[in-house]
Structure 1
Amino acid sequence: MTIRDEEPGVATARPQSLMLGFLGIYALGRATAVYSGSVIEVFERIGVSEEAVRSTLTRMVKRELLARHRRGRKVYLALTPRAAAVLEDGHRRIWETGAVNRDWNGSWTLVGFSLPDSRRNERHDLRSQLVWAGFGPLQNGLWIAAGTVDVVRIVEDLGLADAVTVLTAQAMKPTESADLVGKAFDVAAIAGRYRAFLSRWDVPRPAEEARDDLARQLLLHTDWLQLVRQDPHLPAEHLADGWPAVRAETVFRMLAARYEPAAARIAAALLDEIALPPGNAVTATGAEPTEGA
């Protein structure tokens, strides 16, 4: 399950990408709803207008990513299970999966499909979901991803289970896995995005345009999530020496730790939150979060 926004690019994040970063840090796993006015205050610190924030929040409510809770004249917003699933996936990509695949077992997941032009919208949606899941197009109607990738939810959500063939395989002579990487993925573009991240953040005083550590934290997390959400997590052994993702991940983690203490204090002072009623505090699976989450 994904949210498709703009074409990701470092330092060009749109409000929804920034909102996802904000919600991933300050809403995911919390049994609370946050006042929309205080969200506007937070985003003012990174130069996003009130109009843009309200428009983004309204769209997310319409798409059932946020739910409204009224207290008097104030509107508070909480994550829906759908949004929690998206944000939990982002959290895994940031903190668990990592930017470099050092544990590849030599296998590939193959997805084959053939959809006529009369179903071009479904074909487009499938391709978009496959890219999100780390697949690249090897040839017409055949996409591959490194390792074992579960695509059941993708094809079931799109209603395409009967139109898709999924296999796992290993490369055999004369095919080499390194050749598959080069054919199915734009490795140069992936490396370029990591270098762009480093050009912005791997400097003595990064993101000086940001107002404070909360602003810097949101910009950093948004930039990084846009990188890892489009990184197919290719095997490290088939990437060039000095792969820039290694340095980029080190920089991200260092700065994330640096900004977090002050950012958390600022956010605590700015954000107006209420506890959700019992039964409304959900995670991606619909379960109530554990105490202290």
Structure 2
Amino acid sequence: MEDDDIPDTLPHDLRDDLPVGLSDDLPGTSDGGTPQLRPQSLMLAFFGNHVLDEGDLCVYSGSIIDVLGRVGVGEQAVRSTLTRMVGRGLLRRQREGRRMYFGLTGQATRVLEDGRTRIWREGAVNDDWDGDWTLLGFSLPESRQRDRHDLRSRLAWSGFGALYSGLWIAPGRVDVAAVVAELGLTAHVKIFHASADEATDIGLMVRDTWDLESVAARYVSFDKRWTARPAAGPGEDPLATRLLLVGEWLRTIRADPRLPARHLPPDWPARAAQDTFRRVAEQTAAPAADLAHALLETAPLR
């Protein structure tokens, strides 16, 4: 493929109203119960797996099209997603002759590093809660609905739940000031760190503030699907498997505020699902990296 100019217009079905730096999955599931991940989710998984740790590199668009084609994303969807992510400040493009290459921006690097922290450093089980909470209050007029949506989405990713409509709460000491500043909402937000009075029933508050059944169901679904799925062997594509694995795991933990384990049901399924994720991730890491190294055409990012 030559002359890789990416069109500047997006088909309506690829537009979304999600905050900069995040994506979500399509509603419903495909045949067999596999979640339908948005191309942007898979794109972020691709760059996080194969570009983030490689320094200042950019990847030829044809290589990206080939890799995402392995997980069922069509060429036009890849091209449109690349354009959208450039427009949202997540990717930068660079022409080399007649070819177009794409690399990470500083903003995308922060998003991917945050995701890596959630996956590998923090994990899905919060055994270390010290009793502190972070409270965030905000007030935005009706005319700023997009700003409210972006803030709520970023707060949910950071582990917050709506205690009341304009008052959100998260376990632990969450450094959310940078997120608020990035959205340009510092003047509209107040942040506090506090502990609950003994009169507060924390277990009840947790059940009222977060949809525990929905979060648990995602972990159960993930664990069941990936326990039954072979991660390696003849006919398996480790690159595609790892992209789907990471994309779905990020989808799963995005819905999880990492609530204190002591205030969750004793059979909370996050630990089993995390064990399954890490087992398949370990099995696919080296084969996927070797295949990506052989397939990807890259160039230094200027």
TM-score normalized by the length of structure 2: 0.85
What SS does structure 1 have at the residue aligned with 2:126?
coil
The aligned residue for residue 4 of structure 1 is 22
Q: Distance in 2 between matches of 1:130 and 1:21?
A: 21
The aligned residue for residue 283 of structure 1 is none
The answer as to whether partners of 1:100 and 1:245 remain within 8 angstroms in 2 is yes
Query: Deviations for 1:8-35, whole angstroms, at most 9, x for unmatched residues?
Result: 7762101110000000011113221111
Q: Report sequence identity in percent.
A: 49
Name the amino acid aligned to 1:62: G
The aligned residue for residue 89 of structure 2 is 64
Name the amino acid aligned to 1:172: D
* Shift of residue 7, structure 1, vs aligned partner: 4.5
Q: Distance in 2 between matches of 1:2 and 1:35?
A: 23
Which deviates more from structure 2 when the two are superposed, residues 96-105 or residues 210-219? 210-219
The answer as to whether partners of 1:21 and 1:222 remain within 8 angstroms in 2 is yes
Instruction: Specify whether residues 64 and 116 from structure 1 end up closer, same or farther in structure 2 by C-alpha distance, changes over 3 A only.
Output: closer
Q: Residue 159 of structure 2 is aligned with which of 115, 120, 134?
A: 134
Query: Deviations for 1:145-172, whole angstroms, at most 9, x for unmatched residues?
Result: 0001112112222333232221112121
Q: Distance in 2 between matches of 1:246 and 1:274?
A: 40
Bigger RCO of structures 1 and 2 (CA < 8 A, at least 6 apart): 1
The aligned residue for residue 196 of structure 1 is 221
Which deviates more from structure 2 when the two are superposed, residues 100-109 or residues 52-61? 52-61
* Shift of residue 93, structure 1, vs aligned partner: 0.8
Unaligned runs of 5+ in 2: 1-18, 28-33
The aligned residue for residue 74 of structure 2 is 49
The aligned residue for residue 226 of structure 1 is 251
Q: Distance in 2 between matches of 1:116 and 1:153?
A: 22
- Superposition pairs of residues 237-276 of structure 1, within 5 angstroms: 237-276=262-301
How many correspondences in the alignment? 276
Q: Distance in 2 between matches of 1:221 and 1:139?
A: 33
The answer as to whether partners of 1:90 and 1:229 remain within 8 angstroms in 2 is no
Q: Residue 24 of structure 1 is aligned with which of 29, 48, 56?
A: 48
What SS does structure 2 have at the residue aligned with 1:82?
helix
Q: Distance in 1 between matches of 2:42 and 2:229?
A: 24
Which deviates more from structure 2 when the two are superposed, residues 230-239 or residues 122-131? 122-131
Which deviates more from structure 2 when the two are superposed, residues 249-258 or residues 147-156? 147-156
What SS does structure 1 have at the residue aligned with 2:230?
coil
Unaligned runs of 5+ in 1: 278-293
The aligned residue for residue 165 of structure 1 is 190
The answer as to whether partners of 1:45 and 1:211 remain within 8 angstroms in 2 is no
* Shift of residue 222, structure 1, vs aligned partner: 0.5
Name the amino acid aligned to 1:19: M
Q: Distance in 1 between matches of 2:220 and 2:232?
A: 15
* Shift of residue 206, structure 1, vs aligned partner: 5.9
Q: Residue 145 of structure 2 is aligned with which of 102, 105, 120?
A: 120
CA RMSD in angstroms comes to 2.0
The answer as to whether partners of 1:2 and 1:86 remain within 8 angstroms in 2 is no
What SS does structure 1 have at the residue aligned with 2:299?
strand
* Shift of residue 122, structure 1, vs aligned partner: 2.6
Query: Deviations for 1:71-113, whole angstroms, at most 9, x for unmatched residues?
Result: 2211111111111111111111111110001100001111122
Instruction: Specify whether residues 191 and 62 from structure 1 end up closer, same or farther in structure 2 by C-alpha distance, changes over 3 A only.
Output: same
Q: Distance in 2 between matches of 1:7 and 1:172?
A: 38
What SS does structure 2 have at the residue aligned with 1:29?
helix
Is 1:187 matched with 2:212? yes
The answer as to whether partners of 2:232 and 2:284 remain within 8 angstroms in 1 is no
What SS does structure 2 have at the residue aligned with 1:110?
strand
Instruction: Specify whether residues 120 and 273 from structure 1 end up closer, same or farther in structure 2 by C-alpha distance, changes over 3 A only.
Output: closer
What SS does structure 2 have at the residue aligned with 1:202?
helix
Which deviates more from structure 2 when the two are superposed, residues 96-105 or residues 1-10? 1-10
The answer as to whether partners of 2:21 and 2:90 remain within 8 angstroms in 1 is no
Q: Distance in 1 between matches of 2:26 and 2:232?
A: 18
Instruction: Specify whether residues 248 and 138 from structure 1 end up closer, same or farther in structure 2 by C-alpha distance, changes over 3 A only.
Output: same
The answer as to whether partners of 1:200 and 1:206 remain within 8 angstroms in 2 is no
